[in-house]
Chains A and B, each alone.
Chain A
Amino acid sequence: KAGVTQTPRYLIKTRGQQVTLSCSPISGHRSVSWYQQTPGQGLQFLFEYFSETQRNKGNFPGRFSGRQFSNSRSEMNVSTLELGDSALYLCASSLAFRSQETQYFGPGTRLLVL
């Protein structure tokens, strides 16, 4: 079975721009979660999607949004980028939306905002 894939792997943007990141879960997995990892804050939960519905959202501003498609693929969007948005963005997929399911992580997208 193919693992979780994320595109692009690396991205450089400037302040004020917007960015869209993509995540393809493991086949059969219906839940996709997104996380942000920075040196200062560590790993933080962004949101979780299951069956095209956002089930949970972490403590992030409205500039961070996402969606999930009928094939379970998910995208996250960050608008009006700030320097502090520079981070590794990870997605993880699991069979169900409850966070006690084993999560399988993608390789991440490393975003640099200049």
Chain B
Amino acid sequence: KNEVEQSPQNLTAQEGEFITINCSYSVGISALHWLQQHPGGGIVSLFMLSSGKKKHGRLIATINIQEKHSSLHITASHPRDSAVYICAVPTSGGGADGLTFGKGTHLIIQP
């Protein structure tokens, strides 16, 4: 069964800073998800990636399958980026089952 660790748990930064959130997992996977959860509970899927790098606006996600590690980067951070960021992987790695989630990174961007 996959185990997921995220770091840091909490992160406070100033507007404009470059942000990095890390996610490590224990079992090889078919794909990894990055999710964003705003206060109030709504969750948005940011990325699903199985190799390399994906970019969407100011967000960049990378994954290293050999190292079992993924990072989420935010460039030119803005207060509206304040949210909880969660990574998730297939529970048994293969994909034909549910997801196991990290505990999340609470990000606050101060103006």
Contacts and interface: CB of A to CB of B under 8 A. Distances in A.
A33 B45 contact: no
Interface stretch (B20-28, B65-73, B97-105): B97-105
Contacts of A37: 41
B43 A99 contact: no
Nearest to B101: A43
A33 B98 contact: yes
Interface residues of B, number: 25
Q: Most chain-A CB neighbours within 10 Å: which of B30, B44, B98, B104?
A: B98
Contacts of B90: 99-100
Interface in A44-86: 44-48, 55-58
Contact of A99 (B35, B86, B97): B97
Given A100-B31, A102-B48, A42 B101 contact: yes
A58 B33 contact: no
B52 interface: no
A107 B101 contact: no
B58 to A, nearest CB: 20
A90 interface: yes
B70 to A, nearest CB: 14
Interface in B80-102: 86, 88, 90-91, 95-102
Interface of A: 33, 37, 42-48, 55-58, 88, 90, 92, 97-105, 107-108, 110
Given A55-B96, A102-B45, 11 more contacts: A33-B98, A48-B97, A92-B43, A98-B30, A98-B96, A99-B31, A99-B91, A99-B95, A105-B42, A105-B43, A107-B42
